[in-house]
Chains A and B, each alone.
Chain A
Amino acid sequence: MTTDPVTTDHPAEEILLGFAAACRAAGVPVTPDRSQAFLQATVLVGAENPRAVRAAGHATLCATPEDLVRHDQVFEAWFDKRGELPRTRPAAASRPVLATMPLSQRDQEAGESDDLDDDLDDDIVRAMSTDAEVLRRRDVASLTPGEKARLAALFDTLPARAPRRRTSRHQRWHRGQVDARHTVRASLRRLGEPAEIAWRRRATRPRRVVLLVDVSGSMSGYADALLRLAHRLTQTAPGHVETFTVGTRLTHLTRALRSRDAERALVAAGQAVPDWSGGTRLGETLAAFGDRYGRRGMARGAVVVVFSDGWERGDPSLLAEQVARLHRLAHRVVWVNPHRGKSGYEPVQAGVVAVLPHVDDFLAGHSLATYSELCEVIARA
């Protein structure tokens, strides 16, 4: 390229250093020592071979795969079209951007089909993130199928963390109490010479989380989202999260939700649950949970989260009794009611009134934002 007739009046190193500067202007973090290395490399591979110069640029000027793309754009502009100045690409932001339109309108236009356009460029992605912000706060039950599909992808962003509990065991640590056993052992290994002092602290383990999801008719709009949430929590702490559905029957769902893929897990869960959108006998099913699982150890010291609107068909006093029992067994009982976040909500349903004295937290649960808060409450429990 230095033999290019147009540019013979410039010395080769000027052209090459100019290229390095152009890369820097394009956003590749080129430092002077990198430019020096580039010159040195070009001398070694021969400046007359464009492919070798490109390889030298990759090796010396770039540091990430993104840099490689920028470098190649600048390379083409700098060396292949010598007659013109390297031009900036036509600004993509100047054309009207459809994505600022509210999400629901776009879905109506696109119908049920995939609303992810093929030509998603940076601007659309950025605009979508504000759409996502809107979507996070919408009531899950009021979403169209298209919006639900979009929301499903956002469940991965939930800040799910397993709560921790202290164990009676210790672990080595760089401060804390003196770990006499390890100190002596290390010293013995050195034939009794004093060794470094080892320290220890109490170890922690993930605390078990038990999710009880009400799948009765009044909760049907939220069942899908709640199971997705359960799947997300199961995936963050496999083996430490147990999920049950409660309605007219108690169904153990943990195994179904263990599949990594959310869609598969939901299909498996759908097949496992016999009482979708049935009635509510919350008191009885909670009693069944307590007798069969909770008392034996599953609920002991666990964080128990009940997702229910508390519309109880059976006797509220039985429900109250069972929640009180759960509260005595568990470390913390969290009650999540989808209607709580709505304006004008008063906890007047018989069921809710009965359980309120026995729960530690009473939270809203109708949108992704509230699930995010719930994740925080669980993690801090």
Chain B
Amino acid sequence: MATDLQDAAAVAEQLGATGYLCDDELATVTYLALAMARPLLLEGEPGTGKTALAEALAQTLDLPLLRLQCYEGIDATQALYDWDFPRQVLHLRALEAAGGTDATEAEKSLYDERFLLARPVLAALQRAPAVLLVDEVDRADDEFEAFLLEVLSTYQVSIPELGTVRAATPPLVVLTSNRTRELHDALKRRCLYHWIDHPGLDREVEIVRSRLPEVPEQLARQVAGVTQRLRTDVSLMKPPGVAETLDWARALTHLGCADLDLATAARTLGALVKYREDADRVRQALDRMLTP
């Protein structure tokens, strides 16, 4: 699958074509993940484009994206597979009504592929090559991590009734974590690690321009400038990420604003900050930044 991606520069270029701009290092790591067939573990602040990378990769490589959103209490039946029990029972009843067949035959027919509900991990193995996104893996429990480890090291799943499902080509796995807890070292060792930071000013302007072509250059620069300064100068409970910058730029464009002014900025703050305390502080900071 990495035929047209021969080095890091090609990866950066191809991803750029889909509207995802990445720096040298992220491009290199992504290239390595493709070339070494290793899972990619992305950590970073919320809203820095971890999930977006998986989406951009799927688009670039023209592969199906299978997404597994983790949450507290997620278990293997939600990640791997489950048997469709009602349909199996219906099948049995139908066999009964049709006038009995051989019992062993009937039992065998129960564990057929058509009664198997493939969840994202199994689906990724079956449909490989594919991109498997395991989103916010830090939200899942330790047991689930151990289970992921097993799948990621062998790229195979054994279903007792059916046999082993092995991926023809290993899927490209992207794990994201907001670092609300430390992942187990064994899982990390399987993966290539990358910490995604907030982008610099020029890069952020480029991202806004490429994601939202309708936003004028001047507005993009002003919006990115304000969020950059909010991240560094003002102590906020949740500093705005790139996702918030994009939301804000979009909101301003919807209002037909081509040049950022204090009144419009104050009205659209809801797109940028999500805490009341932050809103107060940002309002004061905006006063300082936008009054000439």
| Cβ-defined contact, A55 with B89, below 8 A | no
Chain B positions 51-109 with a Cβ under 8 Å from a chain A Cβ: 85-86, 89-90, 93
Most buried by B among A41, A62, A259: A41
Give the interface segment out of B27-35, B135-143, B207-215, B265-273.
B27-35
Query: With contacts A191-B90, A261-B277 known, is A45 near B189, CB below 8 A?
Result: no
A372 at the interface (CB under 8 A from B): no
Chain A's interface: helix, strand, loop or mixed, by majority? helix
Query: With contacts A52-B8, A259-B277, A264-B277 known, is A68 near B28, CB below 8 A?
Result: no
| Cβ-defined contact, B29 with A55, below 8 A | yes
| Cβ-defined contact, B86 with A56, below 8 A | no
Measured CB to CB, the closest approach of chain A to B43, in angstroms, equals 7
Cross-interface CB contact of A44 among B31, B90, B93, cutoff 8 Å:
B31
Of chain A, the residue at the smallest CB distance from B275 is: A260
Measured CB to CB, the closest approach of chain B to A235, in angstroms, equals 12
**1/0 contact string of B130-164 vs chain A (CB within 8 Å):** 00000000000000000000000000000000000
Q: Which residues of B contact A52 (CB under 8 A)?
A: 8, 28
Give the interface segment out of A28-36, A116-124, A295-303.
A28-36
Query: With contacts A52-B8, A65-B43, A190-B85 known, is A34 near B32, CB below 8 A?
Result: no
A164 at the interface (CB under 8 A from B): no
Of chain B, the residue at the smallest CB distance from A259 is: B277
Measured CB to CB, the closest approach of chain A to B226, in angstroms, equals 22
B182 at the interface (CB under 8 A from A): yes
Q: Which residues of B contact A45 (CB under 8 A)?
A: 7-8, 28, 31-32
| Cβ-defined contact, A56 with B189, below 8 A | no
| Cβ-defined contact, B24 with A59, below 8 A | no
| Cβ-defined contact, A58 with B193, below 8 A | yes
Of chain A, the residue at the smallest CB distance from B183 is: A63
Q: Which residues of B contact A62 (CB under 8 A)?
A: 193
A167 at the interface (CB under 8 A from B): no
| Cβ-defined contact, B25 with A55, below 8 A | yes
**1/0 contact string of B1-40 vs chain A (CB within 8 Å):** 0000001100000000000000011001101100110100
Please, how many angstroms separate the alpha-carbon atoms of A55 and B40 in the complex?
A: 13
**1/0 contact string of A41-69 vs chain B (CB within 8 Å):** 10011000001101110111011110010
| Cβ-defined contact, B277 with A58, below 8 A | no
Measured CB to CB, the closest approach of chain B to A62, in angstroms, equals 5
Query: With contacts A31-B189, A59-B192, A260-B275 known, is A44 near B24, CB below 8 A?
Result: no
Measured CB to CB, the closest approach of chain B to A230, in angstroms, equals 18
Q: Which residues of B contact A59 (CB under 8 A)?
A: 28-29, 32, 192-194
| Cβ-defined contact, B36 with A64, below 8 A | no
Please, how many angstroms separate the alpha-carbon atoms of A264 and B195 in the complex?
A: 34
Please, how many angstroms separate the alpha-carbon atoms of A68 and B85 in the complex?
A: 49
Measured CB to CB, the closest approach of chain A to B244, in angstroms, equals 19
Q: Which residues of A contact B31 (CB under 8 A)?
A: 44-45
Of chain B, the residue at the smallest CB distance from A53 is: B28
Q: Which residues of B contact A14 (CB under 8 A)?
A: none
Please, how many angstroms separate the alpha-carbon atoms of A160 and B244 in the complex?
A: 33
Q: Which residues of A contact B188 (CB under 8 A)?
A: 63
Please, how many angstroms separate the alpha-carbon atoms of A60 and B189 in the complex?
A: 8
Please, how many angstroms separate the alpha-carbon atoms of A31 and B275 in the complex?
A: 42
Cross-interface CB contact of B277 among A29, A31, A65, A260, cutoff 8 Å:
A260
Q: Which residues of A contact B85 (CB under 8 A)?
A: 190, 193
B237 at the interface (CB under 8 A from A): yes
A108 at the interface (CB under 8 A from B): no
Q: Which residues of B contact A33 (CB under 8 A)?
A: 189
| Cβ-defined contact, B28 with A65, below 8 A | no
Most buried by A among B86, B182, B192, B237: B192
Q: Which residues of A contact B275 (CB under 8 A)?
A: 260
| Cβ-defined contact, B189 with A34, below 8 A | yes
Please, how many angstroms separate the alpha-carbon atoms of A259 and B89 in the complex?
A: 56
Q: Which residues of A contact B25 (CB under 8 A)?
A: 51, 54-55, 58
Please, how many angstroms separate the alpha-carbon atoms of A45 and B38 in the complex?
A: 15
B202 at the interface (CB under 8 A from A): no
Query: With contacts A37-B38, A264-B277 known, is A44 near B32, CB below 8 A?
Result: yes
Query: With contacts A52-B8, A55-B28, A190-B86 known, is A63 near B185, CB below 8 A?
Result: yes
Q: Which residues of A contact B7 (CB under 8 A)?
A: 45
**1/0 contact string of A153-170 vs chain B (CB within 8 Å):** 000000000000000000
| Cβ-defined contact, B28 with A260, below 8 A | no
**1/0 contact string of B174-211 vs chain A (CB within 8 Å):** 00000000100100110011110000000000000000
Q: Which residues of B contact A64 (CB under 8 A)?
A: 182
Q: Which residues of A contact B29 (CB under 8 A)?
A: 55, 58-59
Q: Which residues of A contact B185 (CB under 8 A)?
A: 29, 63
| Cβ-defined contact, B28 with A190, below 8 A | no
Measured CB to CB, the closest approach of chain A to B8, in angstroms, equals 7
Most buried by B among A29, A44, A259: A44
Of chain A, the residue at the smallest CB distance from B192 is: A59
**1/0 contact string of A262-290 vs chain B (CB within 8 Å):** 00100000000000000000000000000
Measured CB to CB, the closest approach of chain B to A114, in angstroms, equals 14
| Cβ-defined contact, B89 with A193, below 8 A | yes
Q: Which residues of B contact A41 (CB under 8 A)?
A: 32, 36, 192
Query: Which residues of chain B have a CB within 8 Å of any CB of chain A?
Result: 7-8, 24-25, 28-29, 31-32, 35-36, 38, 43, 85-86, 89-90, 93, 182, 185, 188-189, 192-195, 237, 275, 277
8 nearest A-B residue pairs (beta carbon):
A55-B28, A59-B192, A55-B25, A63-B188, A59-B29, A191-B89, A44-B35, A41-B32
10 contacts between A and B (CB under 8 A): A44-B35, A45-B32, A55-B24, A58-B25, A58-B195, A59-B193, A63-B185, A190-B86, A191-B86, A260-B237
